[in-house]
Amino acid sequence: MSLLVVGSVAFDSVETPFGQVEEVLGGSGTYFSTSASFFTDVSLVAVVGSDFPQEHLDFLRSREIDLRGLQTAAGKTFRWKGRYGFDLNEAHTLDTQLNVFEAFRPELPAGYESAEYVFLANIDPELQLDVLNQVKKPLLVACDTMNFWIEGKREALLKTLPHVDILIINEGETRQLAGEPNLVKAARSILAMGPKTLVVKRGEYGVIMFTEHSIFTVPAYPLETVFDPTGAGDTFAGGFMGYLASTRNLSEASIRQAIVFGCVMASFTVEDFSLNRLKRLEFDEVEERFRKFKLLTDFDGLA
C-alpha cells in the first residue's frame, strides 16, 4: 500500500459570490484522496453516517480509493456550512454539525499499518498521534492542523509535531502556532518544534516552503474563473503527497515538483463547486498545467 490518509468525509453547503450548493460531497479526506488518486494508490480512513449515499461511495471506488478504512456509524454524516465573500481566502463558517465524526476513532484495517506515506488531515492532534502509534515505519509523515487545535489542543499538537516530517498549514496558522507575526521567523520557530519541512498555503498568493537550509515559493495559478475554494488546501496536499508517493523520491528537488503538482490540483478544484471539476479532470490536463506553471516563473539569469 502506498499512501494512507486519515481525515473527514462530509456534506458541505457553500455560498460564494458565484453561486451556492447544498449538501454536496466534501471533507478533507475526500478532497485529499481524490486528488492523490491521480498519482498513486490511496487508502482512506474516515467515518460516515448511515445517511451517506451509495453514489458517493461509487465515485470514490471509481478512483480506485481503498475504502476498507471508511467506517459507517449509526447517525448522520459530518456537515459543514460556510460562506465566502469576494475575499475567497477566508471562509465564514455558518454551521458545523460533527454528528458521527464527533466520536470518530481511527482504526487501521489489516495492512494499513504498513503504509509508506501517511497524511494526517485536519483532525484532533490526539487522534493524529494515535494513528502514528498504529503505523510501523512510514517513509514520510505529513500533517495538517487548524487554529481550533492550535488554540485548544496545543499540548497534544506539540507532542505530535516531532513525529511529523512535513507540516502543511496556512499563513495565519503559521503565525498563530509560532506566536510570531513575521512569516520567516515563524517558520524557523515551527521547524524547531520537530518538522523537517514546513509548507505554508497562502491561498491566491501560492505556497512557500521552508526547510532548515532553504526557502522555495511558487505562485497560485492565475485563473479567470474561481467558483469555490472549499477543499483547495486538501486537494493541494493530495497532489503533493500523491506525487511524492508515486516517485518514491524525497529529495528537495522532488518535493519542489510535488508542491507545483499540489498547486496544479488545487487550481482545478476551485474552478467548480465540490469535486465537480476533479470528477471530469483528465491527467493530460494536469500535465499540461504543470508545464504552464513552469513558464510562470521561468526567466534567464543576469548576462
Round to whole Å and give the CA distance between 88 and 262: 19
pLDDT at 38 over 90: yes
What is the average pLDDT across 203-225?
93
pLDDT for residue 269: 96
> How confident is the model at residue 303, as a pLDDT?
73
SS3 label, residue 34: helix
Q: What is the pLDDT of residues 220-245, one digit of tens each?
A: 999 988 899 999 999 999 999 999 99
Q: Give the C-alpha distances (Å, rounded to integers) separating 63 from 5, 39, 70, 184, 278.
A: 15, 11, 15, 38, 11
Cβ neighbours of residue 89 under 8 Å, at least 6 residues apart?
A: 203, 204, 229
Helix (H, G, I), strand (E, B) or coil at 185: helix
Query: For 253-292, how does the pLDDT look when each residue is reduced to its tens digit (9 = 90+)?
Result: 999 999 999 999 999 999 999 999 999 999 999 999 999 9
Quick one: pLDDT band at residue 200, thresholds 50, 70, 90? very high
> What strands lie across the sheet with 10-16, from one edge to the other?
19-26, 10-16, 79-84, 91-97
The pTM (predicted TM-score) of the whole model is 0.95
Quote the pLDDT of residue 229. 93
Residue 1 pLDDT > 70: no
Closest CA to 119 of 5, 39, 196, 36: 5
pLDDT > 70: percent of the chain: 100
Mean pLDDT of 169-195: 96
Residue pair 124/102 in contact (Cβ under 8 Å)? The answer is: no
Report the share of the chain in percent with pLDDT over 90: 90
Give pLDDT, residue 297. Answer: 84
User: What are the domain boundaries of the chain?
Assistant: 3-82+91-296
- Residues 67, 271, 24: CA angle, nearest 5 degrees: 45
When pLDDT is averaged across residues 167-188 and rounded to a whole number, the result is 96
Rg value, the chain, Cα: 18
pLDDT at 136: 93
Is residue 301 scored above 90 in pLDDT? no
Dump pLDDT digits (tens) for 59-118: 999 999 999 999 999 999 999 999 998 878 778 899 999 999 999 999 999 999 999 999
Q: Does CATH place domain 3-82+91-296 in 3.40.1190.20? A: yes
Cα 79 from Cα 22, distance rounded (Å) = 10
**Separation between Cα atoms, residue 237 and residue 243, nearest integer Å:** 10
